[in-house]
Amino acid sequence: MAPRHLVMIVRCFSKEICAWMSNCLTKRRKSPRSFGQRHLRRTAVSSPSDLPSWFRDRDGDISSILPPLPCVFRTGDLFSTWRDPSTGLAPFVYPLPPLSNIQVPTFAVLPLVPLATCRTLLLLILGCLFFAVEKLFAVLCLLSPSFVLTLSSWCTTVFARCALYLLGFSRLPSERPFTSRTASQKLVRAQIAPGDVIVSNWSSYVDVIYLAYLYNPIFIVPVPPSTRNSTNSQSVVTGFTRKSPLELITSSGHPPYHDSFNIDSLAGWIAKSKRLVRLLVVLPEGTTSNNRAILKFPQLTPASIGKYDGKVKMYCLALKHEVPTPLKNSITNPIPTWPWNLPSILKANLVPILLPFWSPRTLTIRYPRFNALEIDAIDHKCFDRCSELIGSVGKLKQTNNVGWLDKAEFLKYFQSRH
């Protein structure tokens, strides 16, 4: 046998051995680590009680036999009641990163705790300063409304941009919402005027800060009825109430409640926004989701619509946040924390970066190409059309049976277990 034939045979065998070893390592890395998890993945079980009796200990508990199960199994078992039947999604559960071999040890995160605490304290100081400036402008508005409006808009933009930077958003979308390019690549911006309505989804306090940074608008949220006599009452609203940006940030994650103070119809708030020369932003969901689906939009009644003469322009806006990773948790806030969502903000700041511009968070904005829905008279189906548009442009699924009443029941159950 010639030497060159011998070399070819050795090369062939070495390639086969390398491929076999790589395949074995890949299978070993992808396979579960224990017999218990292999059994759970092979058999479709919905809860630990569905496992055979020989697989559990004497007390019926499998925690002493199995290692910690994946969070997806625990979430699906505990919170399956609040899944939307049409989509199969659980919009109230905190989003988890995809399964990965990367695991950050606890001792590696401990040095970042002082930095995250410092950034959270800076955000708290920034919020206190904004609250004081807001109250000062409310007094000065009696003297010169137009000058105070300009100064208030400028201060809100500065405070909101500083807050977004401290939260890791060192870079924002270069183009403002509702802009388009012509055939000659010229940027054309929609003329949004006071009295127009912006309808947006809501999944985080960042959404409120970003909208305040862009427009300094009037925020309104739906008000549920004081009594619920029917199963469909969770989607019916009696009116809308105004909330300041700080109120929305601190109450982010909580379901709406009946408030008889400062309540008005949608047409009434449109008229007030024209008089105050400010845009109107509606958050129809009433509470936050995990940015994977849109909660059921409310059903408008004649009392909540009111009477309005003239055309109304509704701009639909979808805000999308980045998918969480093992090195960067989600910025969404579907579950509120006390006090004032500060633990959620602290957790969001606890990412392995020293400065925000090293690993910035991203925010994606999506909107229809034709910009606005122009409605001659406000009808009770306008929010349904907005929900379809936000879901289609933002690639968010629409939940048909999950609303803020389910969020209230979910929080009661969640707090009873923690």
| Residue 318: strand, helix, or coil | strand
pLDDT of 244 reads: 94
Confidence of residue 228 (pLDDT cuts 50, 70, 90): low
Confidence of residue 212 (pLDDT cuts 50, 70, 90): very high
Mean pLDDT of the 138-152 span: 86
Amino acid at 318: A
In terms of Cα–Cα distance, which of 165, 224, 200, 96 is closest to 356? 165
pLDDT of 351 reads: 72
Mean pLDDT of the 116-145 span: 91
Confirm if 169 and 252 have CB atoms less than 8 A apart.
no
C-alpha span between 26 and 99 (Å, rounded) = 15
C-alpha span between 331 and 346 (Å, rounded) = 11
CA angle, 108 then 113 then 119, to 5°: 135
Residue 270 above 90 pLDDT?
Answer: yes
pLDDT of 57 reads: 39
In terms of Cα–Cα distance, which of 415, 418, 401 is closest to 82? 401
* pLDDT averaged over every residue in the chain: 79
pLDDT of 327 reads: 76
**C-beta neighbour count of 197 within 10 angstroms:** 26
pLDDT of 229 reads: 53
C-alpha span between 171 and 179 (Å, rounded) = 18
pLDDT of 79 reads: 67
In terms of Cα–Cα distance, which of 309, 298, 318, 280 is closest to 383? 298
pLDDT of 8 reads: 52
Residue 75 above 50 pLDDT?
Answer: no
* Percent of the chain at pLDDT exceeding 70: 75
C-alpha span between 316 and 318 (Å, rounded) = 7
Confidence of residue 240 (pLDDT cuts 50, 70, 90): very high
C-alpha span between 112 and 369 (Å, rounded) = 42
Tens of pLDDT, residues 355-413? 555 668 889 999 998 778 888 767 778 898 999 999 999 999 988 888 888 898 899 98
Residue 245 above 90 pLDDT?
Answer: yes
pLDDT of 232 reads: 52
Strand partners, 241: 221, 263
Residue 64 above 70 pLDDT?
Answer: no
* Of 16-20, 73-77, 222-226, 399-403, minimum mean pLDDT range: 73-77
Confidence of residue 10 (pLDDT cuts 50, 70, 90): very low
Encode burial over 13-24: b for 16+ CB neighbours within 10 A, e otherwise.
Answer: eeeeeeeeeeee
Confirm if 84 and 399 have CB atoms less than 8 A apart.
yes
pLDDT of 78 reads: 64
Amino acid at 377: A
C-alpha span between 237 and 221 (Å, rounded) = 10
